[in-house]
Amino acid sequence: MTTVAVIGGGVMGETLVAGMLRNGWDAGDVAIAEKRADHAATLRDRHGVEVGDIDAVVRSADVVALVVKPQDLPAVLGEVAAHLAPSALVVSLAAGVTTETIEAALAPGTPVVRVMPNTPAQVGAGTAAISPGAHPSEQHLELVEQLMAAVGHVVRVPESQQDAVTAVSGSGPAYVFLVAEAMIEAGVHLGLPRATATELAVHTVRGAATLLDESGTHPALLREQVTSPAGTTAAALRALEDHGLRSAFLAALEAARDRSRELAG
């Protein structure tokens, strides 16, 4: 069986480990390196996997997944490089950081795959885009697809698209949560009890996402189906357009893409 070391047991690292274990990976084949001692103990208790120092978990790993913040990656790469097995595959989930940068810190020829996941992976509904660096084989890519499929949907993209991917799907859940939050607050302003507004907003977001996914229909057509002539939806959509919703999204995604580029270092 393939052994996997996850470096960084925070939000995304723990999500990946939990998904792997849910999907039949043996706890004995998964290990985590986590800097915070109290959290390391929690991870060990929650998942029953080895939690150790980078050198210990990397040495015996076939796959090393880098799941620390981009700012922590240079230091982590130095430690990983010193202990990486010669045939190991390195998978980076760090926003912005290019495979070229990671390859430069590792032994020549090390296969590196860049992944942009997102947090719905916590419920097995993630979206991950993967891109090979210079050295991965087709088998390496299939292995990363298998790994990320444990937490959701996987697509392959050229690495040149990863900053835009980060803006759409990596950060994307936050935009949807903000919309849900705004709908709840607005419902409360209109006089609904908070619990009712929350239940309505959550189920509406879920229902709309399911309809969009399962119908295969363009969102503009689905929006038209809701919009009666001179009705309530038309009034609401006009207010959203008047407040610059589309241009706000364009500016937001450009900002996320630009920040991803900056994180490349």
Ligand X SMILES: NC(=O)C1=CN([C@@H]2O[C@H](COP(=O)(O)OP(=O)(O)OC[C@H]3O[C@@H](n4cnc5c(N)ncnc54)[C@H](OP(=O)(O)O)[C@@H]3O)[C@@H](O)[C@H]2O)C=CC1
Interface pick for ligand X out of 3, 4, 8, 80 (rule CB under 6 A) = 8
Angstrom distance (rounded) from CA 114 to CA 24: 24
Q: How far apart are the first and last CA of the chain?
A: 36
The structure tokens listed for 179 are: 């919309």
Residue 166 in the binding site for ligand A1CAB (CB under 6 A): yes
Residue 167's binding partner out of ligand A1CAB, ligand X, none, with CB under 5 to 8 Å set by partner kind: none
- Cα distance between residue 121 and residue 128, in whole Å: 9
* d(C-alpha 119, C-alpha 13), whole Å: 11
CA distance linking residue 53 with residue 79, whole number of Å: 10
Nearer to ligand X, 19 or 187 (CB): 19
**Virtual torsion, Cα 169, 102, 23, 117, nearest 10 deg:** -10
CA-wise closest residue to 260 among 144, 166, 119? 166
Is residue 265 part of an annotated ligand binding site?
A: no
50 in contact with ligand X (CB under 6 A): no
The answer to whether residue 171 forms part of the interface with ligand A1CAB (CB under 6 A) is yes
Residue 19 is assigned to a ligand binding site:
no
**Contact call for residue 92 and ligand A1CAB (CB under 6 A):** no
Q: Pattern 90-129, binding to ligand X, x per CB under 6 A? A: ---xxx--------------------xxxx----------
Q: Interface with ligand X by CB under 6 A: which residues?
A: 7-13, 33-36, 39, 54, 67-70, 72, 75-76, 93-95, 116-119, 170
Query: Which residue ranges make up the annotated binding site for NADP(+)?
Result: 7-12
